[in-house]
Amino acid sequence: MSGRQWTQVAYEYDGSFGGFLTCVFESYARREVAMAFLPPEEARIPLWTVRRVDSREDLARRVYRAIPQKISPAAAQLVTRGFLTCIPQRELCLYQFLRLGFRRGEDITKDLTDPRVAALTRGVGHLTREAHLLKGFVRFSLLEGVLVGVIHPKNRVLPLLRGHFCARYSGEKFILYDAVHKEALVSQPGFRAIVPRPWRTSPPAPRGRRRRGTGGCGGGFTTPSPSRGGTTPNAACPTCPSAIGGT
């Protein structure tokens, strides 16, 4: 780092992928080194000055486009999927990987001797394997004409499961609910999205007809629609893992 000294800070942000990328932009624009990231659920008191960063899609897009250009497409996928993992201090790990990548270029993804690269690669490997296993073990129950399933994954696997289940049940309505991260993959003809908790109450016990597709469920739920703010495939924000992390 040459010229003016970089300041060590902790970033408070909204917890979204776009918000994280905005923090990366602010780090370089303000010559700040992020020492911690504080999403809304983070309660710890940092040792550094805390600065609130509001998510900006235009800045997030600039950072996201810069990753494949200045590092590599593989690095862009690693960062996108890395944000879906449960690795400790996930954002800090991703931030340190990006700083390293912007300095060294495309060879960084292959350097598993670097602990920053190794930790991120392992985390994404766990995410990918978990998603692959769930493709064969999800069970759906029929509720009010909608197939409903519940999973309890360690990682946020719904973006990686979306393509598989939307293709498998392309002509049907279904909801696949991640009970750990409180979000759901909702699909019906002409519409699909990953949305926050769709249940009016906690998902009740399984009942009715099941299909193999981890435990079924039934209960009151609300199915979003595009007119109510849902996300369609064409309208999906490219700076969201739910939009660009799937397979």
Angle at 160 between CA 176 and CA 177, to 5 degrees: 15
Q: Which of 130, 164, 186 is the last residue of a domain?
A: 130
- Give the predicted TM-score (pTM) of the model: 0.80
**Residues of the domain holding 115:** 7-130
Residues 80 and 152 in one domain: no
Of 200, 170, 187, 177, the residue nearest 231 (C-alpha): 187
Residue 169 domain flag: yes
Using CA atoms, how far apart are residues 194 and 186, in angstroms rounded to an integer?
Answer: 6
Q: Which of 112, 130, 148 is the last residue of a domain?
A: 130
Using CA atoms, how far apart are residues 236 and 232, in angstroms rounded to an integer?
Answer: 6
Using CA atoms, how far apart are residues 175 and 147, in angstroms rounded to an integer?
Answer: 6
Residues 206 and 123 in one domain: no
Residues 153 and 173 in one domain: yes
Residues 91 and 197 in one domain: no
pLDDT at 41: 76
Residues 97 and 175 in one domain: no
Of 193, 158, 187, the residue nearest 173 (C-alpha): 187
As given in the structure block, the two tokens for residue 50 are 């805390």
Residues 95 and 153 in one domain: no
> Which tens digit of pLDDT belongs to each residue from 21-35?
999 999 999 999 999
Q: Which of 130, 158, 185 is the last residue of a domain?
A: 130
pLDDT at 47: 84
pLDDT at 5: 87
Residues 212 and 149 in one domain: yes
pLDDT at 40: 85
> Which tens digit of pLDDT belongs to each residue from 7-62?
999 999 999 999 999 999 999 999 999 999 999 877 666 788 899 999 999 999 99
Residues 141 and 222 in one domain: yes
Residues 71 and 95 in one domain: yes
Residues 182 and 104 in one domain: no
Q: How many domains does the chain have?
A: 2
Residue 144 domain flag: yes
